[in-house]
């Protein structure tokens, strides 16, 4: 194989992993939990009690990309309308990814639910580019849904920003929870409909 071919293949692999971003294009598997997991401080401070509804691990071409956890308030998050109750999505990265690519991939996944207006596209992409930094293994991004208000984002426990648009919150959470998600297995795991096994 020529040097240029190896370089192309390496670049292609990097692009594929980066395009996974927050939601990839391959099946997810549930993440195992051998012991109870405490909610992160930013979730516990947003609503209490905070209960783990479900969790899953995303793998792509044999690579582990991230673990995801869906936290809920006292009532289970309704699958049909997840912005009506306090909830939070926690992503724990297992690979390095670029923040800008995470934002762009998130927007692409939101488009699976409905067509986005040009003003929404520009406004939401700009906000996510500010919210999502480059991540390394072990970094955490948490999005907390505030019913009828929008979402707050935290990176490694520190508040990163807020977008007070309920429709953004609905579509963003829908990346994982909407029937149109590209990750139906992960959706089932997050909604607690699948046993958590490695």
CATH of the domain at 92: 3.50.70.10
Answer whether residue 17 is part of any domain.
yes
CA distances from 173 to 2, 3, 106 (A): 43, 42, 10
SS3 135: strand
Q: Do strands 140-146 and 158-163 pair parallel, antiparallel, or not at all (unpaired)?
A: unpaired
In a domain, 80, yes or no: yes
Instruction: Tell me whether residue 198 is in a domain.
Output: no
The pTM score is 0.80
In a domain, 195, yes or no: no
Q: Say if 102 falls within a structural domain.
A: yes
Q: What is the pLDDT of residue 79?
A: 62
pLDDT at residue 14, as a whole number: 47
Cα-Cα end-to-end distance for the chain: 36
Residue 196 is assigned to a structural domain of this protein? no
Q: What is the pLDDT of residue 25?
A: 35
Give pLDDT, residue 76.
66
Q: What angle do CA 56, 155, 66 make, to 5 degrees?
A: 25
Compute CA 34 distance to the chain's CA centroid, rounded to the nearest angstrom: 22
Residue 141 in any domain: the answer is yes
> What pLDDT is recorded for position 193?
79
Q: Total domain count for the chain?
A: 1
157 falls within a domain: yes
- The confidence score (pLDDT) of residue 48 equals 87
What does each of the 198 residues of the chain score in pLDDT, given as a tens digit? 444 444 444 444 444 444 444 444 334 444 444 467 899 999 999 998 899 999 999 988 888 999 999 998 866 666 666 777 889 999 999 999 999 999 999 999 999 999 999 999 999 999 999 999 999 999 999 999 988 889 999 999 999 999 999 999 999 999 999 999 999 999 999 998 765 433
Q: Which two tokens stand for residue 145?
A: 């849904």
pLDDT score of 156: 98
Q: Which domain holds residue 34?
A: 3-190
Backbone angles phi, psi at 134, to 5 degrees: -65, 140
28 strand-pairing partners: 58
């Amino acid at each position: 194989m020529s040097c240029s071919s190896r370089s192309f293949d390496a670049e292609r692999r990097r692009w594929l992993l980066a395009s996974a971003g927050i939601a990839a294009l391959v099946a997810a598997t549930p993440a195992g939990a051998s012991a109870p997991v405490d909610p992160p401080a930013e979730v516990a401070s947003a609503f209490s009690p905070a209960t783990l509804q479900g969790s899953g691990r995303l793998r792509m071409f044999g690579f582990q990309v991230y673990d995801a956890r869906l936290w809920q308030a006292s009532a289970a998050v309704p699958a049909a309308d997840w912005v009506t109750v306090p909830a939070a999505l926690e992503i724990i990265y297992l690979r390095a990814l670029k923040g800008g690519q995470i934002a762009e991939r998130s927007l692409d996944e939101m488009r699976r639910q409905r067509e986005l207006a040009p003003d929404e596209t520009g406004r939401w992409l700009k906000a996510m580019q500010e919210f999502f930094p480059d991540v390394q293994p072990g970094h955490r991004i948490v999005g907390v849904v505030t019913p009828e208000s929008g979402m707050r984002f935290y990176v490694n426990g520190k508040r990163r920003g807020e977008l007070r648009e309920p429709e953004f919150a609905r579509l963003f959470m829908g990346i994982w929870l909407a029937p149109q998600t590209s990750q139906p297995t992960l959706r089932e795991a997050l909604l607690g409909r699948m046993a958590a096994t490695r």
